[in-house]
Structure 1
Amino acid sequence: MAGTVILTGANGSADSNTQNLRQVIARYPDAKTSIYQVDLANLSAVHEFASKISKAVETGEYPALKSIICCAAYWNLVGDSELTTDGYDKTLQINHIAHVALVLRLIGSFASDGSIVLFSSIAHYRKPNAMTSYLPDIPDDIDQFNHPPASGDKKDRGFQRYANSKLVITTWMYPLNRYLQQNQKFKNITAVAINPGGLGDSRAFTSNTPRSIQLAQKFVLKPFMSIIQYLADPTFRSSAEAAKDVIKLAVDEAYQGEHGYFTLLQKDDSDPITMDESVQQRVWRKSLEWARITKDNTALKNVMK
């Protein structure tokens, strides 16, 4: 049965990745597929896109949304924090804030049994990580995320910003589910945060990344993915393998109604701080503020509590 897929990308049709995507889409002529250019580092563009899709669903151009997969990601391991035009740390805005805006603006366009898939990471855990000597955490003043200190440890601080964004995403998922379940109209819509595993062939390693890590990917991580998976990390795998799991969580009936934190396709425990309801509410309220969500622009009216 043919489906409808709405895809977004930061760059236009001239971008090589978008061209490759169009080539893949061409193999499935029966599917209705649209690609929109949306700059997640610009909240005005995000809200404009959400309004456009909401209108298209309302008029019947698109069916009600079965799922939204929030997989866009950004990091900078070679420079200090970058601020977007909205005044937020670029890593935090692309990885989290923009997705908050999309989810809550589009929630009224969902099918009654829709699903939301957020991308977490093993990096969200507040424990030592080979990529950084700085642990992620959620400070009392969450706005500190948008004013991280400059540092000579570009890689370590850059990965900490990335890990912080994943910690915030995972924490935000819990009150999102709570508010959905409290709303009669949306009680059957659920959200999951997935750790997709270590992706040895990820494009993230090809930009804003130290040369040493790029070389490690080229000569070690990609060529020996299966060996690393077998000997060191059972969650280490290719992006294609991870994508299959993500799609299952998004639209497979076997996973309908699932919610919470997953490692691959297994329900798992996220970092303990994500389970603290007072922290959840601080992250929730600040995320609404960052994403410019109000009672007037989301159908989930109880979000303002």
Structure 2
Amino acid sequence: MASTILITGANGSLALPAIKHLLTNYATHHAVLTVRNASASDPNTQKLRAIISPFQNRASIRELDLSDLSSVRSFGTALATDITSGSIPPLSSIICNAYYWNLATAPDFTQDGFERTFQINHLSHALLVQQLLESFGPADTSESSPRSGRIVVFGSDAIFPGQNGLEKYPPRLPENLDDLAKPDLGLDKNDYMGHGFHRYALSKLATVTWMYALNKHLQKPENAHLKDITAVAVNPGNLSDSRALRSNTPFMLQFASRFVIRPLGPVLRRMIDPLMRTAETAGKDVIELTVDDRFKGTSGYFTLLEQGEGPPDSVDEDKQAAVWDKTVKWCSQ
């Protein structure tokens, strides 16, 4: 049965090979691919166009600005309308791949009043998912069949204290969750990289915590028609060839990316970081986790394709409920 997979950040390092793998190997899936800039002036979007060119009847590119909640709402409404009208098949998956970080300069706030890293990585994706739950299709043609599918968000070893070499400040959810969305930026002027990476890690930690809460929400009796939708968070590994290492990062990290991490990736994986891999390998795994039958019905936290558990904050049920409630409140502003 035909279905649609929505992928945000579709011109990113991981997304490009993931989309090629999806369209090449899973012929029943239509792909809606979002990018911030869909114009011909963006070289990464041009790479995306080249990948989907043999699959024009099964893939489309749409603009989506995750730094603007009104853009997210408009996009979600338009996509839901297209699905209702039959223009495209119902959803079977949402892959929340887009991300943002800033390790090089002073942080800023979006027009919605939220710190940009947190809004793009967490809030906008949460809003998008909430808008589109009713646009998932049933598992079969029976009228009583509940909606079915998979929501994929992204974790990182950065959410586990002490696990990432860029960590300077351990990632832990603050008592006042408003500090996530509207942090005091006064300290950043002395350490853009340290605090920028901390904000990135916290945005991922909030997302993973929210993922656990989302699964509980989908299993509530009043959501019986959604009970076969599951959510997973995946750490796809540390990508040696990711453009992230060269975007909004200080010169030292860009230098290391070009002359150490990329050329020595296989050696570093064997000797230092077993999670280091290429974007192509990671992208294929993300698609397999999303659509392959062996992962049907699974939920929770994955490192690569191995199921495990998120960090302590994320599995604390009180914190899950608090992050869920706050996210709903933030997204309704």
Q: 1:199 and 2:234 equivalent?
A: no
Structure 1 residue 51 displacement after superposition: 0.1
Is contact 1:197-1:242 (8 Å) kept?
yes
In the TM superposition, what whole-angstrom CA distance separates every residue of 1:261-294 from its partner, at most 9, and x where no partner exists?
A: 000000012101111111111100111111228x
Q: 2:266 aligns with which of 218, 226, 230?
A: 226
- Name the structure 1 match of 2:95: 69
- Offset of 1:136 from its aligned partner? 1.2
Query: What 5-or-longer segments of structure 2 have no aligned partner?
Result: 1-26, 138-146
CA distance in 2 between counterparts of 1:8 and 1:148 reads 31
Which TM-score applies when normalising by structure 1? 0.93
Structure-2 separation of matches of 1:147 and 1:212: 26
Q: Distance in 2 between matches of 1:197 and 1:81?
A: 26
Match of 2:55, SS state, is coil
Distance 1:156 1:260 in 2: 29
1:123 aligns with 2:163: no
1:20 maps to amino acid = K
User: Aligned residue for 1:271?
Assistant: 311
Distance 1:27 1:160 in 2: 41
Match 2:42 to one of 15, 23, 29: 15
Cα drift, residue 169 of structure 1: 0.6
> Aligned-pair distance for 1:240?
1.1
Cα distance, 1:80 vs. partner?
2.5
Counterpart residue identity of residue 193, structure 1: A
**1:175–1:280 contact (8 Å) kept in structure 2:** yes
How far did residue 113 of structure 1 move?
Answer: 1.9
* 1:131 Cα offset (Å): 0.7
* Aligned equivalents of 2:29, 2:165: Cα separation in 1: 41
Aligned partners of 1:2, 1:50: CA distance in 2, in Å?
Answer: 22
Q: Deviations over 1:49-107 (max 9, x none)?
A: 00000000000011110100001010000123210000001000000000001101000
| Residue of structure 1 in register with 2:172 after alignment | 137
Question: Residue type of the partner of 2:71?
Answer: A
Alignment of 1:181 onto 2:219: yes
Q: Secondary structure at the match of 2:60?
A: strand
Label 1:128 to 1:245 Cα distance change in 2 as closer, same or farther (>3 A): closer
Instruction: Give percent identity, aligned residues only.
Output: 42
Could you tell me how far apart the structure 1 residues matched to 2:251 and 2:217 are? 44
C-alpha RMSD of the superposition: 1.3
- The counterpart of 2:195, out of the listed 136, 157, 160, is 157
> Contact 1:173–1:192 at 8 Å: present in 2 too?
yes
Q: Give the alignment partner of residue 291 of structure 2, picking from 251, 262, 271.
A: 251
Structure-2 change in CA distance of 1:197 and 1:148 (3 Å): farther
CA contact (8 A) 2:213 2:321 kept: yes
Q: Secondary structure at the match of 1:26?
A: helix
Q: 2:55 aligns with which of 10, 21, 28?
A: 28
Q: Structure 1, residues 231-255: CA drift from partner, whole Å, max 9, x if none?
A: 2222100111111111011111111
1:185 aligns to what SS in structure 2?
A: helix
1:147 has 2:194 as partner:
no
> Is 1:167 aligned with 2:205?
yes
Which 5+ residue runs of structure 1 have no aligned equivalent?
Answer: 294-305
